[in-house]
């Protein structure tokens, strides 16, 4: 049994972390720049968001094939169950959230750009649907802050309080 996540799992975990931070920042700080910069913030947001979607699906597929490495010393079974549930929530959240974003952009019915390419859109706009999707997108994005906050806090708690190898298993070799 491996003692750490695989190199590819670790690389994707921290790449997704970076992309999620950029996607959030692009929306939270877009108001600070002049309005003419808005398209750059939007392109950054949607490009990072779509990348998160692809990477979360990829890592979920990898994870379904590879069990997570054991934590030493072994936590109580209830803690392990809670951790697995928490990870499932993160996977679902960061797959559904960008899909809602994609559906929103598609149903706006006008050309939009991601990664420098014009993306497909509906022939006619459906603003009622877009408004509903936007509400869900915003609610899930807010929930994301809470879930990721708890996730990061749990990782630090394991490292500094329980003093087990939970965090070390997710760090690149040089950082261990």
Q: Which of 144, 150, 157, 164 binds ligand HEM (CB under 6 A)?
A: 144
What is the contact mask toward ligand HEM in residues 30 to 49, using x (rule: CB under 6 A)? ---------------xx--x
State which residue, 54 or 124, has the beta carbon closest to ligand HEM: 54
What is the contact mask toward ligand HEM in residues 56 to 85, using x (rule: CB under 6 A)? -------x----x--------------x--
Cβ(64)–Cβ(87) below 8 Å: no
Torsions phi, psi for 117 (to 5 deg): -110, 145
Q: Which residues contact 18 (CB under 8 A, 6 or more apart)?
A: none
State which residue, 87 or 132, has the beta carbon closest to ligand HEM: 87
Select from 33-41, 120-128, 145-153 the region that touches ligand HEM (CB under 6 A): 145-153
Cβ(94)–Cβ(50) below 8 Å: no
**Alpha carbon distance, N-terminus to C-terminus of the chain:** 18
Among candidate residues 8, 27, 55, the one with its CA nearest the CA of residue 145: 27
Q: Which residues contact 50 (CB under 8 A, 6 or more apart)?
A: 98, 102, 114, 115
What DSSP string describes 24-60? HHHHHTGGGS-GGGHHHHHHHHHHHHHHHHHHHHHHH
What is the contact mask toward ligand HEM in residues 103 to 142, using x (rule: CB under 6 A)? -xx----------------------------x--xx--x-
Binding site for ligand HEM (CB under 6 A): 13, 16-17, 20, 23-24, 27, 45-46, 49-50, 52, 63, 68, 83, 87, 90-91, 94, 97-98, 101-102, 104-105, 134, 137-138, 141, 144, 148, 151-152, 155, 166-167, 169-170
């Amino acid at each position: 049994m491996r003692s750490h996540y695989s190199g590819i799992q670790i690389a994707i975990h921290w790449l997704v972390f970076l992309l999620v931070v950029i996607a959030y920042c692009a929306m939270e700080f877009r108001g600070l720049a002049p309005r003419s910069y808005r398209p750059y913030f939007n392109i950054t947001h949607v490009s990072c968001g779509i990348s998160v979607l692809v990477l979360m699906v990829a890592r979920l597929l990898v994870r379904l094939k590879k069990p997570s490495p054991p934590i030493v010393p072994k936590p109580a079974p209830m803690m392990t169950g809670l951790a697995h549930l928490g990870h499932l929530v993160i996977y679902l959240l960061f797959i559904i959230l960008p899909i809602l974003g994609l559906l929103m952009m598609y149903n706006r019915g006008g050309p939009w750009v991601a990664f420098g390419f014009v993306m497909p859109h509906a022939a006619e706009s459906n603003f009622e649907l877009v408004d509903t999707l936007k509400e869900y997108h915003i609610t899930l994005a807010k929930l994301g802050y809470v879930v990721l906050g708890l996730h990061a806090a749990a990782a630090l708690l394991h490292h500094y309080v329980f003093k087990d190898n939970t965090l070390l298993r997710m760090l690149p070799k040089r950082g261990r």
